[in-house]
Amino acid sequence: MPGMEFFKALKREADTRILLFVADGLGGLPRERGGLTELETAKTPNLDALAAEGICGLLDPVAPGVTPGSGPAHLALFGYDPIEYNVGRGLLAALGVGFPIQHGDVAARINFCTVDDRGTVTDRRAGRIATDLNRKLVEKLRKAVTIDGIEIFIDTVKEHRAVVIFRADGLYDKLNDTDPQATGAKPHAVVAADEQSKKMAGIATEFVDRAAEVLAEEQPANMVLLRGFARYERFPTVEEVFGIKCGAIAAYPMYKGVAKLVGMEVIDCGQEPEDEVEALEQNVGGYDFFFLHYKKTDSRGEDGDFDAKVKEIEHFDSLVPAVRKLNFDVIAVTGDHSTPALLKSHSWHPSPLILWSAYERGDECDAFGETQCALRGGLGRHRAADLMPMILANAQRLEKFGA
Q: Nearer to a copy of itself by C-beta: 273 or 369?
A: 369
Stretch that binds a copy of itself, among 147-155, 260-268, 292-300, 389-397 (CB under 8 A): 389-397
- 296-303 helix and 306-318 helix, angle to the nearest 10 degrees: 170
Stretch that binds a copy of itself, among 82-90, 128-136, 146-154, 216-224 (CB under 8 A): 82-90
Beta bridge partners of 227: 109
Q: Which of residues 307-336 bind a copy of itself (CB under 8 A)?
A: none
User: Is 29 among the residues that bind a copy of itself (CB under 8 A)?
Assistant: yes
- For the bound state, the minimum distance from the C-beta of residue 10 to a copy of itself, rounded and expressed in Å, comes to 7
Q: Nearer to a copy of itself by C-beta: 312 or 336?
A: 336
211 phi-psi bin (left φ>0, alpha ψ -120 to 50, beta other): alpha
Applying CB under 8 A, among 149, 184, 285, 402 the residue interacting with a copy of itself is: 402
User: Is 364 among the residues that bind a copy of itself (CB under 8 A)?
Assistant: yes
Applying CB under 8 A, among 20, 22, 30, 115 the residue interacting with a copy of itself is: 30
Q: Nearer to a copy of itself by C-beta: 83 or 185?
A: 83
Q: Which residues of 181-212 are buried (b: 16+ CB within 10 A; e: fewer)?
A: eeeeeebbebebeeeebbbbbebbbbbbebbe
User: Is 346 among the residues that bind a copy of itself (CB under 8 A)?
Assistant: yes
- For the bound state, the minimum distance from the C-beta of residue 170 to a copy of itself, rounded and expressed in Å, comes to 26
How many beta carbons lie within 10 A of that of residue 352, not counting itself? Answer: 31
- For the bound state, the minimum distance from the C-beta of residue 179 to a copy of itself, rounded and expressed in Å, comes to 14
Closest CA to 328 of 370, 358, 364, 295: 358
Q: Nearer to a copy of itself by C-beta: 64 or 286?
A: 64
Cα–Cα distances in Å, from 188 out to 120, 180, 182, 235, 379?
A: 11, 6, 11, 31, 49
User: Is 66 among the residues that bind a copy of itself (CB under 8 A)?
Assistant: yes
Dihedral (Cα; 236, 165, 25, 67), 10-degree rounding: 80
| H or E element, residue 6 | helix 4-8
DSSP 369-393: -HHHHHHT-SSEEEEGGGHHHHHHH
Please tell me the distance from the alpha carbon of residue 199 to that of residue 238, in angstroms, as a whole number: 33
User: Is 226 among the residues that bind a copy of itself (CB under 8 A)?
Assistant: no
Per the omega criterion (within 30 degrees of 0), is the bond before 236 cis? Answer: no
User: Is 159 among the residues that bind a copy of itself (CB under 8 A)?
Assistant: no
- For the bound state, the minimum distance from the C-beta of residue 303 to a copy of itself, rounded and expressed in Å, comes to 17
Closest CA to 277 of 327, 316, 308: 316
Phi, psi torsion values for 101, nearest 5 degrees:
-70, 145
Applying CB under 8 A, among 17, 46, 49, 72 the residue interacting with a copy of itself is: 72
Q: Nearer to a copy of itself by C-beta: 28 or 273?
A: 28
Closest CA to 337 of 380, 389, 388, 297: 297
Give, in degrees to the nearest 5, the angle at Cα 337 between 107 and 303. Answer: 85
Residues 228-267: x where in contact with a copy of itself by CB under 8 A, - otherwise, as a string: x---------------------------------------
What is the three-class DSSP state of 20? strand
Q: Nearer to a copy of itself by C-beta: 51 or 277?
A: 51
User: Is 390 among the residues that bind a copy of itself (CB under 8 A)?
Assistant: yes
Applying CB under 8 A, among 93, 129, 211, 246 the residue interacting with a copy of itself is: 93
Residues 63 and 127: beta-carbon distance below 8 Å: no
Applying CB under 8 A, among 19, 87, 106, 354 the residue interacting with a copy of itself is: 87
User: Is 137 among the residues that bind a copy of itself (CB under 8 A)?
Assistant: no
Stretch that binds a copy of itself, among 111-119, 129-137, 289-297, 386-394 (CB under 8 A): 386-394
Q: Which residues of 44-54 are buried (b: 16+ CB within 10 A; e: fewer)?
A: bebbbbbbbbb
- For the bound state, the minimum distance from the C-beta of residue 64 to a copy of itself, rounded and expressed in Å, comes to 4
Q: Nearer to a copy of itself by C-beta: 165 or 392?
A: 392
User: Is 118 among the residues that bind a copy of itself (CB under 8 A)?
Assistant: no
Q: Would you tell me which residues interact with a copy of itself (CB under 8 A)? A: 1-2, 6, 10, 29-30, 33-35, 37, 53, 58, 62-73, 82-83, 86-87, 89, 92-93, 228, 340, 342-343, 345-349, 358-364, 370-371, 374-376, 378-382, 386, 388-393, 398-403
